[in-house]
């Protein structure tokens, strides 16, 4: 009888331990970022960093833009989005396409983000393109964005938007999103001036071709 009782106690303790561990895992589990199950104002950059993949970040931005009062906000389908994750119309009536990049803080976003979001503008009939990232951008990415008038919002910008929204400074949050991107060319007329300058020529290739062609 004593043996059965001791075994029963062991089983009860084991079950309680398993229940406790299960509860602890649920407490530590990153939030599942669906449309219904979290308070948007409770989200900080720390919660975004815990997201399992980029879809949670896209959903967060989708909800955030609606909360900021933008119109025409919608999230694109997961596949065949042509480079845009979220679309919205700003307060000047201009349609914007956004590509969301949830990268590790030490992993800068590369040039492909600009290429993809810029190339999809005509498909979505948008006039502005934005890349919003949880990290910094590489120098080539910033250069291509500046030439093509693509707005880049890096981790610091995102934190500023989130903080402004959480303290209900909607105007500040919207101003960060809508301010003009950094431009490298003064205007498109400069790009179409008729004077064609070589940009980073491959002199090794040029030398090789001249040699094989006897020129």
Condensed to tens digits (0 to 9), the pLDDT of residues 7-53 reads 666 556 765 666 555 555 544 444 444 445 678 999 999 999 998 78
Buried residues in 10-44 as b, exposed as e (16+ CB within 10 A): eeeeeeeeeeeeeeeeeeeeebebeeeebeeeebe
For the entire predicted model, the pTM comes to 0.75
Condensed to tens digits (0 to 9), the pLDDT of residues 177-204 reads 999 998 876 555 555 666 666 666 777 8
Gap between the Cα atoms of 143 and 139, Å rounded:
6
Average pLDDT estimate for 126-135: 97
Condensed to tens digits (0 to 9), the pLDDT of residues 163-172 reads 999 999 999 9
Report the share of the chain in percent with pLDDT over 90: 60
């Amino acid at each position: 009888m004593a043996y059965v009782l001791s075994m029963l106690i062991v089983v009860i303790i084991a079950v309680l331990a398993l229940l406790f561990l299960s509860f602890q895992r649920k407490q530590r589990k990153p939030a599942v970022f669906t449309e219904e199950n979290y308070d948007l104002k409770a989200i900080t950059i720390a919660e975004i960093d815990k997201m399992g993949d980029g879809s949670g970040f896209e959903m967060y931005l989708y909800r955030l833009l609606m909360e900021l009062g933008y119109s025409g906000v919608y999230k694109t389908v997961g596949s065949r989005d042509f480079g845009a994750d979220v679309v919205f119309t700003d307060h000047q009536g201009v349609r914007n396409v956004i590509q969301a990049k949830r990268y590790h803080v030490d992993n800068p976003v590369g040039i492909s983000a600009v290429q993809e979001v810029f190339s999809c503008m005509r498909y979505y009939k948008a006039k502005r393109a934005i890349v919003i990232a949880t990290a910094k951008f590489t120098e080539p990415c910033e250069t291509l964005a500046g030439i093509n008038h693509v707005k880049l919002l890096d981790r610091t910008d995102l934190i500023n938007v989130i903080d402004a929204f959480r303290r209900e400074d909607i105007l500040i949050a919207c101003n960060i999103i809508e301010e003009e991107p950094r431009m490298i060319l003064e205007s498109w007329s400069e790009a179409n001036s008729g004077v064609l300058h070589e940009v980073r020529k491959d002199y090794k290739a040029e030398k090789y071709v001249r040699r094989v062609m006897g020129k």
